[in-house]
Structure formats: C-alpha cells, structure tokens
Amino acid sequence: MGPMFTRLGRLAMAVLIATLVAASLAGPPALGQSKAKVSFVYVGPIGDHGWSYQHHQGLLALQKEFGDRIETSFVENVPEGPDAERVIDQLAASGSNIIFTTSFGFMNPTVKVAARYPNVKFEHATGFKQAPNLATYNARFYEGRHVIGLIAGKMTKTNLVGYIGSFPIPEVVMGINSAYLAAKSVNPNVKFRVVWVSSWFDPGKETDAAKALVDQGADILMQHTDSPAPVKYAEDKGIFAFGQSSDMAQFGPNAQLTAIVDDWRPYYIRRVGALLDGTWKSGDVWDGIKQGTVALSPWSKKIPPDVVAMAGKARDAIAAGTLHPFTGPINKQDGTAWLKARETASDKDLLSMNFYVEGMEGALPK
C-alpha cells in the first residue's frame, strides 16, 4: 500500500506539473515562435504622471498592438550615471532585442552598451549620439509651447506668466523662448518670470516655486518639471496653469487650460513594427505636432472661443508646416541679431540654444 501510494502520489505530482507547464505555455498561442523582447529604462517612477508615465503608456500601447508577438519589460527610477550602464547591460545580456532608454542622461551608458551588443537594437530619447544599432528620437515640445504661449498671452490679467524651470539646458530654454515669443506676439505687455528649481521632480519644491511666483503676481503658471504639483497649486489658488508631459486635468480641473502631452505611442509602435518586419534601421527622429508625438490635451472651457480658435489655428499651421515658432526677425536678449526676417531657426540652433530672446527678463543661468 505504502509504495503504491507513493507511486500514485508521484504520478499525481507529475500530472500536476505537466498541467501547470502546459497551462503556462499554452497562454501565448504563438508557442515556439521567436518573441521579440522589448525593454524600457525610465529615469523616474512610472507613477510620476509626467515624463516617465508617458513613456510607459508607450509600452502599454506596444503590448496592445503586438500582443503575443512581443514580451516587454521595464526598469524604473534608474539614476543617470554608472547605474544606468549596469541596468542597460543587464537588459541586453538577458535577451532583449530592442532597448529604449528614455532620458538624456542615459546617452553615454547607452552608447557604451550598444557597442558591446551589436545584435541588440538600442533607441535613446533626446540624445544626439547614433550608431548602426543605436537610433535617437526626440519630440518638438517647443511647438506645443508656442500654442500655450498664445493662450497665456491672451488670458493673463496681470500680464505676468510664472514659469517653473528645471535645469537651463537647451530643451528647457527653447521652451521658454517659444512660449514667450508667442505670448508677446499677442500681448506686447506680457512678462515672463522664470524660477529654476534645479530638479526634474520635487513636488514640494515645485509648489514652493509656484507660491513664490503667484506671490509676485503671476496669474498663469507654466512648468518644465515633471510633477503635477504646480497645476494642483494653481487649482487651489483659483488661477490657471498648463499641464506638462501628460494631461494633468485630474489635478486641476479648473486650473488646467490645456497640457502639452508627449505621445510616444505612434513612434514606439512604428519602431517595434520595423523590428518585427526586419526593416529596423538606425536614425535620428525629431517628431512634433505633425506626427502626433506632441499633442495638446482638450481645451478647457475657461478659454474664450476666439482664443480657442486662435490656438487651434496655430496648432494646425504648425502641423501643416506653414508656421515655425521660431521665425525671424528675432534678436537675442542682449539685442544682437539671431534670425533675419522670415528666417526660421535650424534644428542645430535649437538643440544648442543657450540664450534668452529679446524682451525676456532675468539672466539665464550658465
């Protein structure tokens, strides 16, 4: 009886294991076919409701689009530095076919790891170093900034727009200039005040900065930091703000006029599709409103209809390629000429922008 029972037990166990294995394998019907492994590296938490959150929306869209043909993984809160190289290397070593590294500071680590794994594809966001297996991609956020600048110029009553900046890098400076030029074009009296908080993500400090700006009379807030805290502050103060990276209306249903939304989904779907077709090639892509990478969330009902019409027209003109936010004549802050009449800024100029345009107050930190 004893041995018999043991044998039965073993048999039962074997059946159980076989069932489990079968069940786990049966999940994806594309059994046995090669599945592409797609990996993401994020600088912040996916719950930041800003930058990293939007990239993660891209990952979710990939799962929906390609289903069982791909397998996804991600690592969040990866510091920009030596740790990043270790994380990227590990993803490459563990069989990833394509790795998206989604912050500027991941550039050099990505370049290094890409050199070690020539058969793995790499894509680095907002950087400028490419290789045969390393592509770069970015979005023309300044196009969205032009549209919110127009709205702010029309809607400010105190003629003071508060701007919460992270770090004075070209990306951020270009956004300030774009919004300011647009605002001034519809309101010659408008002034911008920029407060730098030296952080991408610090809700407490972003709130303190918003408070300082509102104390100085700003009645509209713009931000180039990643947390929804400034929008929330604007909501509590009964003033207006623009969401950053992501639709932040839930944090400020009355305050948010619109948000500049980074929609990476079309790009990611295109690139992973190319990987699956075998047509993936390295390159450098800088998409904007036209391709849908930069989008504006639905207009608030608080924006007067004529301003909505103006903003919509500008957005469509940018998409059509008939309007460039940086069209001359534009002088630098010190009065020297930058763009001649009707001349538009080159991408190279934009990506190295380290000056304020004429009319901006305050000194740009070096």
Partner 1 sequence: MEQFALWDLIVNILVGAMIAATPLVLAATGELVAERAGVLNLGVEGMMVVGAIAGFSAVIATGSAALALLAAVVAGSAMALLFAVLALTLRANQVASGLALTMFGLGLSALWGQGYSGLSAPAFPRLSVAGLGDLPVVGKLVFGHDLLVYLSLALVAAVAWALARTRLGLVVRAVGENHDAAYTLGYPVIAVRYLATLVGGAMAGLGGAYLSLVQTPLWVERMTAGRGWIALALVVFAAWRPWRALAGAYLFGGITVLQLHSQALGLKVDAQLLAMLPYLATIAVLVAVSREGVRLRLNAPACLGKPFYATA
Q: For binding to partner 1 (CB under 8 A), which residues are involved?
A: 44-45, 47-49, 77, 162, 165, 168, 193-199, 201-205, 207-209, 211-213, 215-216, 218, 227-229, 232-233, 235-236, 250-251, 361-363, 365-366
Shortest CB 228 distance to partner 1, Å: 7
Shortest CB 194 distance to partner 1, Å: 7
The residue type of 166 is S
Shortest CB 204 distance to partner 1, Å: 6
Shortest CB 51 distance to partner 1, Å: 12
User: Tokens standing for 236?
Assistant: 């509590």
- Residue 123's closest CA among 101, 97, 139? 101
CB nearer to partner 1: pick between 45 and 328: 45
Q: Residue 28: is the preceding peptide bond cis (ω within 30°)?
A: no
Shortest CB 234 distance to partner 1, Å: 12
CB nearer to partner 1: pick between 52 and 258: 52
Strands 121-125 and 36-41: unpaired
CB nearer to partner 1: pick between 54 and 227: 227
Phi and psi, residue 292, nearest 5°: 90, 0
Q: Do residues 196 and 168 touch, judged by C-beta distance below 8 A?
A: yes
Shortest CB 68 distance to partner 1, Å: 26
Residue 48 burial (CB < 10 Å; 0-12/13-18/19+)? buried
What are the DSSP calls for 300-319, one per residue? PTTS-HHHHHHHHHHHHHHH
Q: CB within 8 A of 141, min separation 6: which ones?
A: 171, 175, 260, 262, 294
User: Tokens standing for 255?
Assistant: 């305050």
CB nearer to partner 1: pick between 78 and 218: 218
Shortest CB 298 distance to partner 1, Å: 16
Q: CB within 8 A of 8, min separation 6: which ones?
A: none
User: Tokens standing for 73?
Assistant: 């993984």
Give the Cα separation of 183 and 162 in Å (integer).
Answer: 12
Shortest CB 247 distance to partner 1, Å: 10
Helix (H) or strand (E) holding 75: strand 70-75
Shortest CB 130 distance to partner 1, Å: 30
Helices (H) and strands (E) in the chain, counts: 11, 14
Backbone φ/ψ region at 245: left (φ over 0), alpha (ψ -120 to 50), beta: left
Estimate to the nearest angstrom the gap between the alpha carbon of 159 and the chain centroid. 29
